[in-house]
Copies of this chain bind each other. A is one copy, B any other.
């Protein structure tokens, strides 16, 4: 079969590989109909994330069940499926409690040295009952491909900011007086989502998904920050207030919008140190930092700074499988707004070109078709 191979930074080739076969009884083989290129693959593409070479890329793919192992219960040959970016067993303690992002089986995502990816004609899917989802009717591949990673990831980044924001006054004098019938004790004023000022740092595909969820869940004011005009235009269409890096004084604008306090919550979707530091600086004391970008370096703030600012800080990847259904609801309710997300649909043979234009931010989202 044909497959997209990582041969080193900026070296993407389409090569012949053996068609995968079942290895474990919980495996399925999927015949891929669409595979996305994800922003997180650019860490590897650009050489920032060091890795050996020769593996098949891609952790976003949609297709049909080609073959199932003897222990697969939920899927039959011929069924259409969408795959989450990393295998999940959905039966360990973490999966059962909603932390599918920390399923011990999912440590190697698709498209890495540990597990061959989906930018290929076929792909082997471990723990098929957990890792795959059947596809709802009336949602096409362009939208489904976003459900593998970017939409649930952006959704989670936004929901984590929202839920931590909502609960922040629980730890500051508004405890539930009775958990069976939760009512705030009312010692302090609660700040509503409508009053709050959110910021989303990064308006790439994941950022746009985060903005859509934040807005659709009741965040009225969300400043959206990027350096690319097209991204900011998209973010503005989704209800964000665009601030352009290099043109706008982001810090000053956010401070002015909050009477000098700082933002109540920041969703950081960029995944570099400068963005994480910016998130820290934009927040008010006791604010919420929800970082969904992939970070490899040190934290760009000290323990003393954290102590002095009393932030609620969350980093880490999304439990895509856990939040899949509720993220799918947001996608299904906003098909038109998301329709313009995929700008390029290329044959698999044009994978190198697809990576190139995506890396140069000349494409919003690229789909490869085997």
Q: Which A residues have a C-beta under 8 Å from some C-beta of B?
A: 93-94, 96-99, 101-102, 156, 159-160, 163-164, 166-167, 169-175, 182, 185, 187-191, 259, 261, 273, 276, 285-286, 291, 294-304, 306-317, 319, 322-323, 325-326
Contacts and interface: CB of A to CB of B under 8 A. Distances in A.
A185 B259 contact: no
Given A170-B167, A171-B164, A326-B187, A308 B319 contact: no
A90 to B, nearest CB: 10
A214 to B, nearest CB: 13
A172 B322 contact: yes
Nearest to A303: B295
Contact of A169 (B98, B298, B300): B98
A101 B171 CA distance: 12
A340 to B, nearest CB: 28
A315 B286 contact: no
Given A167-B170, A169-B98, A310-B102, A302 B299 contact: yes
Contacts of A301: 299
Contact of A173 (B98, B190, B304, B310): B98
Given A175-B163, A325-B187, A326-B175, A99 B316 contact: no
20 contacts: A96-B188, A97-B169, A97-B188, A97-B190, A98-B172, A98-B173, A99-B310, A159-B171, A185-B326, A187-B325, A295-B303, A296-B303, A296-B307, A297-B303, A299-B299, A299-B302, A306-B315, A309-B316, A311-B314, A311-B315
Contacts of A189: 96-98
Contact of A94 (B163, B276, B286): B286
Given A170-B167, A172-B319, A285-B94, A306 B310 contact: no
B313 A304 contact: no
Given A295-B307, A302-B297, A173 B319 contact: yes
A307 B325 contact: no
A196 to B, nearest CB: 11
A22 B172 CA distance: 31
Q: Counting chain B CB atoms within 10 Å of each CB, which of A96, A164, A314, A319 scores highest? A: A314
B298 A303 contact: yes
B101 A286 contact: yes
A182 B171 CA distance: 18
A93 B259 contact: yes
A97 B298 CA distance: 32
Given A93-B261, A171-B156, A295-B307, A314 B313 contact: yes
B102 A286 contact: yes
A49 to B, nearest CB: 10
Contacts of A325: 187
A98 B315 CA distance: 25
Contacts of A291: 307
Contacts of A309: 102, 316
Contacts of A299: 299, 301-303, 306
B170 A163 contact: yes
B310 A101 contact: yes
Nearest to A167: B167
Nearest to A185: B326
Nearest to A306: B315
A259 to B, nearest CB: 7
B163 A164 contact: no
Given A98-B188, A310-B317, 11 more contacts: A93-B259, A97-B188, A99-B286, A101-B310, A159-B171, A171-B314, A172-B319, A172-B322, A295-B306, A296-B304, A297-B304
